[in-house]
Amino acid sequence: MRHSSKYSCWLIYLVAILCIVNQGCSVSQTAQQANKVLVNKDAPIFDKRFQDISIEDINLENFWTRLDDVEESIDRDPIAIDNQTFARISQSVKSAVVNIYTVRLEEKDAKIGIDPNSLLPFNIPIVSSILDFVPFQVPVPFNSEGLSLGSGFLINEQGYILTNAHVISNAVDIRVVLSEKQKEYPAQIIGIDRLSDTALIKIDPDFLPNVLPFGDSDALQMGEVVLAMGNPLGFQHSVTSGLISAKERTSPHPKDRFVNYLQTDSAINPGSSGGPLINLHGEVVGINTAIIQQAQLIGFAIPINTVKEVMGMLIIGEDERGWFGASATPISNEEAAELELDSSDGLIVRGVEKGSPAEISGLKEKDIIVEFNHHPIDNFVIFRRKLLALAPGQTIDLKILREGKTFEVTSTLIKKPTETEQNEETFSDPAS
């Protein structure tokens, strides 16, 4: 870690100003920019306290908090809104929302060689155009340090903070600033998962911090009021209000289609990434992420129930999914009628890769998977979310329907062979 005096608060404010005017640093990376790994897990920025623990050894029961005075969010009384409702919620949660400043490695290209047009005494249009195509200059990649900022929020009193993976990707130094007293804390990365764009970092607080309870994103309804808090465009601790515009949205970016997002018209801008999306009970229902840079009134958030699924992987620092080697898709109504099925619940196997755990377990093409780990497959979105939490070495149990008969299949997932291509349109993507 670098000496903390170098990143004192006055410098942090200067960084924020530079980000606002778009000079000298970026507000935050996009998920696509952060996909290339330039800082490995051996770097000092990674906290290695859980590296020898398996997911089965983790008890998440008390790792995050819940509101204890209610049983089910769907049974709660509606919140009466007045002119102070949003202010009361903001005051109760803002001390748990943090600003995250990072020094990170960036890959850039330096052109080595001579620009042939600079050798001409004056610009000759036809000749200059031809010379532009001549490869006199060769781009050579190199790494440099850049500054960026984002948001996050405290989830327990030990100082664990949730944010987006792209906010802290390739960081070599992370500083966290709380809203109260603007005090700065160094942070380390516990785990980072680029597939779900989530990350867990930790500070060592010298006080008892306020934390945000987790809600139930599945219980959200279209049209429900939510608040987004964060650090948009360098403006510290801002809050915006809006609605849940839609649920189960697929990202417009092909590589991010494993997570179904919440869509909201609450303003989420670069710098807001990693901040919490809050319901009117003061619970986190999502992690804000700026997917579409030019969007207006179209914001996205990672559902908090997705975060709950991948939390075990974040804690142990695992980012590789287990591979099963089968591709399957939901059953259409036409296929259900053709196969004389009672419903279209379940998945139909489209292919089984040679030598894969799926083939070894006896799975065949056109088999119908009706249960996953003893739970019926009646919601494809929830099923995909469950796959996000599967690491190599974990065992899965499937109930298979084949030619009118059912039987059980048990298989242990392995690391995906590097030569095997991944089909992004199948159910097995997150765990294949």
Residues acting as catalytic residues: 166, 197, 273
Regarding beta strands 395-402 and 225-230, do their DSSP bridges make them parallel or antiparallel, or are they unpaired? unpaired
Rounded distance between C-alpha atoms, residue 123 and residue 120, angstroms: 7
**Cα dihedral sign for 322, 324, 327, 329?**
negative
Reference 236, options 112, 363, 98, 365; nearest CA is 98
Partners of 262 in the beta sheet?
Answer: 301
- Asked if 186 contacts 2 with a C-beta cutoff of 8 angstroms, the reply is no
What is residue 46's DSSP assignment? Answer: B
Rounded distance between C-alpha atoms, residue 404 and residue 425, angstroms: 27
Rounded distance between C-alpha atoms, residue 218 and residue 224, angstroms: 12
Rounded distance between C-alpha atoms, residue 355 and residue 378, angstroms: 29
Helix or strand run (H / E) with residue 12 = helix 9-20
Rounded distance between C-alpha atoms, residue 286 and residue 303, angstroms: 4
**Cα dihedral sign for 408, 414, 417, 418?**
positive
- Asked if 147 contacts 167 with a C-beta cutoff of 8 angstroms, the reply is no
What is the three-class DSSP state of 345? coil
What is the three-class DSSP state of 382? helix
- Asked if 103 contacts 172 with a C-beta cutoff of 8 angstroms, the reply is yes
